[in-house]
């Protein structure tokens, strides 16, 4: 009868029962993310991105400590460094004491078993050749590429192929031919709204290289901060950064570090809007007199450069001359988005300027401004990149339009002959599931573009805007979902199996920790800080961890409307910040429910009860106590109550389904209304398992028809 499970929940008092249930739940979570060796019998290799062509056999190249790597490269070369990193990582993964002094010598010899060869040093430019051919035989591995960039990409694939069995480690034999689908595969990191120290940038560059991303789009100026040392205009970083900025030596360090990984570094200086921090030190170039202070809030603000002031362009001429010499990439991003025109409208000088130059509206005024900036960038041999708003007729065709509006904007631009990159659908700060990003394509299968027009779509970029991330949480908002985007931008278009993507993503996520990214480990650290003196191994700590694993932050920009006013000074250390953007545990639960509903086997019903519903009761019991005692966790008390109600609904629905009995219409309607209430966020989180329980109710409702 309905409610039987609630009686069982209320009867769960034994610590042994609680501990066993929690162990069962956490074991399932660990199993879902367990490392599966590439090439395991019955499974496809765990490669991400998937190469263009893969042919593997049952033969194996056996690995031992006499594994030597050699090529024609010289010490200090990019290929040489890449092989040295590869050998170090190989030793780290296997525990093998590799005999070769690969830091000093990679000259091919009689013991060499990994041979690499390339024809020339690759240029860090769009459309450079990154292809490679990897051949693995039982006694020899050959990696060949037109450029050293291809060597870098092939080494990542080879390392992902590392497998093991009872006899030790091996690489599956076969041949891989690979090349990227898109030439521009980027990640935007916003260092302005929250400053990202050098080590954050470095570890994410290493992770980018592991999944073959090749552009770091570095967002360096915003209302909340100006983040690069300017020796020409020192008040920019002195007064506009709170002392948190990159020195020019540090910028060069990052550029060199990225270049060794085959990654371009493109700076963005957002103008004419999103520019408050510029005016703290140089208010004379603003459209209103000021004074100005660094913006602490988030949104679109009024401060904007004055396009009618000739001194503005003299300022930018000197500024971009300095930045052009600092950043070697041929592209420079000017932002250009979300220009608030209030100060333009209120300034008589600007209004007179518009009338004199027949500028009909603010869009025309921004177009005038952009053209002047374009002339300056061209003078210093830089190509302009900007968001959708920079487009205007008459711009040269070598600019790049980055679209936050969507694929139709790219289509419109390509039909006019303009190059574009897609970011709409790749906003990873919105905490959307990997599946949504994965199926989002810069050139969808039904694209109306001609073959020549498609060539103008250079690729895409994941965007990590930093309103709600700190250096300790940013990695968890980037990884592992950015790896799914990396595959979309590298692999053939027909690679679209979502389930297989998730299978591989779990493994790659663990492997990424090798580069120092903290997307997995920081969750426990943050939860430990919240609970304070609670023992790490206690059932309460295990329950809190399990609760975090089935919760997700609210999606989109909803956190800004949940009652708290976020600023750049607000703490990002709460329970919601410890939750991953996507709960893979909740996804596993949903898949279990779907399997049960498709088979209606009693054994699968018992698995749902024992592996999921019972552990969730212990989560409620343990976290309720924590939320009552620990001030920082009081806000999750209603969340635990929602989980209790959700378990009641789900377990009772499962009882009806497996017994074959039908609930009354009144009961079903009541549960549906309650479920809608449970969907409302609490502590800026949502229970990610709600869709799975909703499927059980839907199955009951359909059974009544």
Tally Cβ neighbours within 10 Å of residue 345: 11
| Secondary structure (DSSP) of 613-656 | IHHHHHHHHHHHHHHHH-GGGGGGHHHHHHHHHHHHHHHHHHHH
**DSSP result, 253-317:** HHHHHHHHTT-EEEEEEEESSS-HHHHHH-GGGBSS--------S-S--S--B-TT-HHHHHHHH
Residue 183 in any domain: the answer is: no
Domain final residue pick, 445, 480, 511: 511
Give the distance from CA 692 to its chain's centroid.
Answer: 25
- CA separation for the pair 158, 59 (Å, rounded): 15
Total of domains in the chain: 3
Count of residues making up the chain: 705
Beta strand pairing call for 225-226 and 215-222: antiparallel
Name every residue whose Cβ is closer than 8 Å to that of residue 395 and which is 6 or more positions away in sequence: 370, 371, 374, 418
> CA 139 → CA 60, 69, 99, 111, 258, distances in Å?
9, 13, 17, 11, 33
CATH assignment of the domain containing 147 = 3.30.379.10
- Cα gap 651→665, rounded to integer Å: 18
Q: Do 372 and 460 fall into the same domain?
A: yes
3-class SS shares of the chain: helix, strand, coil, % to 5 = 45, 15, 35
Same domain, 19 and 73: no
CB under 8 Å to 88, separation ≥6 — which residues?
Answer: 102
Asked if 325 and 365 count as a contact pair (C-beta separation under 8 A), the reply is no
434, 568: one domain: no
Give a yes or no: residue 670 inside a domain: yes
Quick check: is 358 in a domain? yes
Residues 681 and 577 both lie in one domain: yes
Measured over the CA atoms of residue 476, residue 480, residue 484 and residue 490, the dihedral's sign is positive
Rounded Cα distance, 17 and 14, in Å: 5
What pLDDT, on the 0 to 100 scale, is given for residue 3? 53
Packing angle between helix 614-629 and helix 15-32, nearest 10 degrees?
Answer: 110
Strand partners, 112: 68
Domain closes at, from 145, 178, 211? 178
> Is 167 among the domain residues?
yes
Residue 38 lies in a domain: no
Contact 482, 505 (CB under 8 A): no
By residue range, what is the domain housing residue 451?
188-511
Does 22 share its domain with 76?
no
State the residue for tokens 């893969």: 54
> Residues 343, 365: one domain?
yes
State whether 637 and 683 are in the same domain: yes
Residue pair 225/281 in contact (Cβ under 8 Å)? The answer is no
| Pair 128, 249 in one domain | no
What distance in Å separates the CA atoms of residue 297 and residue 223, rounded to the nearest whole number? 9
Helix (H, G, I), strand (E, B) or coil at 27: helix
The torsion angle over the Cα atoms of residues 229, 234, 239 and 244, rounded to 10 degrees, is: 20
Helix (H) or strand (E) holding 408: helix 407-415
Whether 594 is in a domain gets the answer: yes
Two tokens at 396? 């040269």
Q: How far is CA 285 from CA 288, 308, 525, 656, in A?
A: 9, 10, 45, 70
Coil, helix or strand at residue 452: helix
Residues of the chain scoring pLDDT < 70 = 1-43, 704-705
pLDDT of residue 27: 55
Residue with tokens 């600023």: 567
In a domain, 44, yes or no: no
Is the distance from CB of 275 to CB of 238 less than 8 angstroms? no
What does the buried/exposed string (b/e) look like for 78-116 if buried means 16 or more CB atoms within 10 Å of the residue's CB?
Answer: bbbbbbbbbbebbeeebebebebebeeebeeeeebbbbb
What 3-state DSSP class applies to 116?
A: strand
Element (H, E) at 206: helix 198-210
Q: Are 39 and 56 in contact (CB under 8 A)?
A: yes
Q: Cβ contacts of residue 209 below 8 Å, gap of 6+?
A: 152, 156, 261, 262, 263
Do 332 and 211 fall within a single domain?
yes
Structure tokens at 446: 């039904």
- Spatial separation of the C-alpha atoms in residues 587 and 196, rounded to whole Å: 31
370 and 351 part of one domain: yes
Is 42 a member of any domain?
A: no
CA distance 674 to 654: 17
Instruction: Looking at the structure, tell me whether residues 562 and 535 fall in a common domain.
Output: yes
Q: In the Cβ-directed half-sphere of 671, how many Cα atoms lie within 13 Å?
A: 27
Three-class SS of residue 704? helix
- Rounded Cα distance between 180 and 183, Å, is 7
CATH of the domain at 377: 3.20.20.80
Global confidence as pTM? 0.94
The domain boundary, picked from 132, 155, 178, lies at 178
Residue 231 and residue 195 in one domain: yes
Q: At 340, is the secondary structure helix, strand, or coil? A: coil
Contact 77, 199 (CB under 8 A): no
**Which residue in 232, 220, 223 sits closest to 317, CA to CA?**
232
Q: Which residues are catalytic?
A: 338
């Amino acid at each position: 009868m309905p409610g039987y499970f609630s009686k069982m929940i209320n009867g769960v008092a034994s610590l042994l029962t609680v501990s066993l249930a929690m162990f069962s739940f956490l074991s399932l979570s660990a199993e879902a993310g367990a490392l599966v060796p590439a090439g395991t019998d019955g499974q496809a290799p765990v490669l991400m991105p998937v190469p263009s062509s893969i042919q593997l056999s049952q033969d194996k190249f056996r690995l031992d400590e006499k594994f030597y790597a050699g090529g024609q490269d010289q010490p200090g070369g990019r290929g040489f460094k890449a092989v040295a990193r590869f050998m170090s990582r190989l030793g780290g993964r296997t525990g093998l004491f590799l005999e070769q002094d690969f830091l000093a010598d990679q000259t091919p010899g009689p013991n060499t078993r990994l041979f690499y060869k390339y024809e020339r040093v690759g240029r860090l430019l769009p459309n450079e050749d990154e292809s490679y051919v990897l051949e693995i035989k039982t006694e020899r591995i050959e990696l060949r590429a037109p450029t050293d960039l291809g060597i870098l990409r092939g080494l990542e694939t080879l390392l992902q192929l590392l497998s093991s069995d009872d006899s030790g480690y091996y690489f599956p034999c076969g041949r891989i031919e690979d090349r990227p689908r898109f030439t521009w595969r980027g990640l935007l990191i916003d260092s302005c709204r929250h400053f990202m120290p050098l080590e954050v940038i470095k570890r994410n560059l290493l992770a980018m290289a592991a999944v073959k991303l090749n552009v770091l789009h570095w967002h360096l100026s915003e209302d909340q901060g100006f983040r690069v040392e300017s020796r020409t205009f020192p008040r920019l970083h002195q007064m506009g950064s709170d002392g948190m900025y990159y020195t020019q030596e540090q910028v060069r360090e990052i550029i060199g570090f990225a270049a060794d990984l085959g990654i371009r570094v493109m700076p963005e200086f957002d103008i004419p809007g999103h520019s408050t921090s510029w005016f703290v030190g140089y208010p004379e170039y603003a459209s209103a007199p000021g004074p100005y202070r660094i913006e602490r809030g988030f949104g679109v603000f009024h401060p904007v450069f004055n396009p009618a002031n000739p001194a503005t362009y003299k300022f930018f001429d000197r500024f971009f001359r300095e930045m052009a010499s600092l950043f070697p990439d041929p592209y420079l991003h000017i932002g250009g988005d979300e220009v608030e025109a209030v100060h333009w409208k209120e300034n008589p000088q600007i209004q007179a300027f518009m009338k004199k130059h027949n500028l009909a509206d603010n869009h025309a005024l921004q177009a005038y401004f952009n053209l002047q900036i374009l002339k300056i960038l061209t003078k210093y041999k830089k190509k302009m990149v900007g968001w959708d708003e920079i487009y205007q007729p008459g711009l040269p065709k070598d600019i790049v339009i980055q679209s936050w509006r969507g694929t139709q904007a790219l289509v419109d631009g390509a039909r006019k002959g303009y190059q574009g990159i897609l970011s709409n659908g790749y906003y990873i700060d919105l905490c959307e599931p990997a599946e949504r990003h994965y199926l989002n394509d810069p050139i969808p299968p039904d694209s109306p573009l001609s073959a020549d027009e498609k060539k103008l779509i250079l690729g895409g970029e994941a965007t990590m805007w930093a309103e709600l991330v700190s250096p300790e949480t940013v990695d968890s908002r980037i990884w592992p979902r950015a790896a799914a985007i990396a595959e979309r931008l590298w692999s053939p278009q027909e690679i679209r199996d979502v389930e297989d993507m998730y299978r591989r993503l779990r493994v790659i996520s663990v492997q990424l920790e090798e580069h120092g990214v903290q997307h997995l480990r920081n969750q426990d650290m943050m939860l430990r800080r919240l609970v304070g003196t609670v023992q790490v191994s206690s059932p309460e700590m295990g329950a809190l961890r399990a609760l975090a694993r089935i919760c997700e932050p609210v999606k989109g920009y909803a956190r800004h409307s949940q009652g708290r006013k976020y600023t750049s000074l607000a703490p990002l250390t709460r329970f919601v910040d410890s939750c991953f953007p996507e709960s893979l545990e909740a996804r596993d639960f949903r898949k279990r429910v779907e399997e049960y509903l498709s088979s209606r086997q009693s054994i699968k019903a018992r698995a749902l009860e024992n592996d999921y519903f019972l552990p969730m009761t212990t989560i409620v019991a343990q976290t309720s106590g924590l939320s009552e005692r620990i001030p920082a966790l009081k806000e999750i008390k209603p969340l635990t109550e929602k989980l209790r109600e959700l378990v009641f609904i789900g377990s009772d629905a499962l009882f009806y389904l497996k017994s074959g009995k039908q609930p009354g219409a009144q009961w079903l309607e009541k549960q549906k209304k309650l479920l809608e209430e449970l969907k409302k966020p609490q502590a800026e989180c949502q229970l990610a398992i709600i869709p799975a329980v909703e499927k059980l109710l839907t199955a009951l409702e359909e059974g009544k028809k």
